[in-house]
Amino acid sequence: MIKGLGGAKTLSGEIPVRGAKNDVLKIIAGSFLFADTVAIENVPDIRDVASLLALAETLDARVERRGRSLSITAPQESAGHLDPHLAKSLRSSVVLTGPVLARYGAVSFPHPGGCVIGARPIDLFIKAFEKMGATCRVEDGAYRITAEGGRLHGADLFLDFPSVGVTETTLMAATLAEGTTTIRNAAMEPEIQNLARFLAASGARIEGIGTPTLTIEGGSALRAAGKTYAVIPDRIEAGTFLVLAALAGDDVTITGCRPAHIRALTALLEQAGADMTIGEDTIRIRATATPYHAVNVRTHTYPGFATDLQAPMTVFLTQAMGESLVFETIFEGRLNYTDDLKRMGANITMFDPHRILVRGATPLVGKELDGPDLRAGLAYVIAGTIASKESVIHAIGHIDRGYERIEERFRALGVDITRAVD
């Protein structure tokens, strides 16, 4: 339940950013490439982490967790069968396929789950594995992939689209493949760079980190040798908090973040008129006397504007003077949430599944809504915060997948928000 501020800018204080969901999940998957125990720090307490750890345990991995620290020891042998129920509960289960296939020679899994934000096919994963010498069969709705001779082979891969998941999965698979693998048109997100550095620090031979061409010389199982690796701050969380502060904040500082990872967002907010002071690991934003003005948003792969920040930014644009065009280039179903914003009073015209026009500024009125996915769900919370009257957001399990104890952290800034007990 959220009680809106109705346009008042009263939030103040500091809000820390936790470890990145899209980084820690891949490092957990990468632990299956190791012959010894992998230690991870700055682990967020979110549902997707718990789900992936439960899935790892069904593969006989040994998991120990203490607060924000985590250790994982992969089994020496495994049949590579991903539990269907757990695998369907999160999209990131698919990144386990690369390490498990490369380590044990076979993997079976259902079509992965996650947020319903448009078609998210896995054909690019299958094509990459097949080029690396694997065969794929589909039986009873499940994929069964087997490496020829029990080991993948290096290949020259050109990705039709710079997919984050495919880049990460093939990168991990290539570290144990026989020979050299080149991934061209690779995604370059900070989480991919951190994953590559995590693997390289433990013996993987990877060139081109941070570029669209990655070259990996395959070898034997990696060794952490007692080293601990830290998850980077969540740039999507930082950006979402920044949008909340821009809309409802008097004087708010986001701490423990990496502003360099969200330059596309901060540049647009500055263009819109936001008053920000950007430090090395903090962003302070203060209320301004003048209204924000419209800006156009086009999502793109990193370092462009992140698709995961598109929904919060659209809420921001409902409060900006003028007309803003939002062009969602990644997912064709990701603008469906705007129907609910229109119910709250937003003036939004949808041209097609990829483009909307937002006319502002328009006051929002609280409504009872169902959160459709992780990112739009939190965008509804932001909208409810600035709306007049009370909002009730259902299906908050989506939010818990990627944001840790969000109501506690927002209350610390002054948001009037409570979680109903079922």
Helix (H) or strand (E) holding 85: helix 84-87
Residues 258 and 262: their CA atoms lie apart, in Å, by 8
Sequential DSSP letters for 283-306: EEEE--SSPPB---EEB-STTSB-
Residues 157 and 98: their CA atoms lie apart, in Å, by 14
> Residue 218's Cα: distance from chain center in Å?
27
- The answer to whether 136 is a known catalytic residue is no
Q: Check 11, 74, 115, 311 and give the catalytic one.
A: 115
Say if residues 202 and 223 touch (Cβ distance below 8 Å).
Answer: yes
Name which of 53, 56, 33 is nearest 43 in CA terms.
53
Name which of 129, 127, 55 is nearest 92 in CA terms.
55
Q: Tokens representing 278?
A: 């950007």
Sequential DSSP letters for 133-175: TEEEEEETTEEEEEEGGGS-B--EEE-SS--HHHHHHHHHHHH
Report, as residue numbers or ranges, the catalytic residues: 115
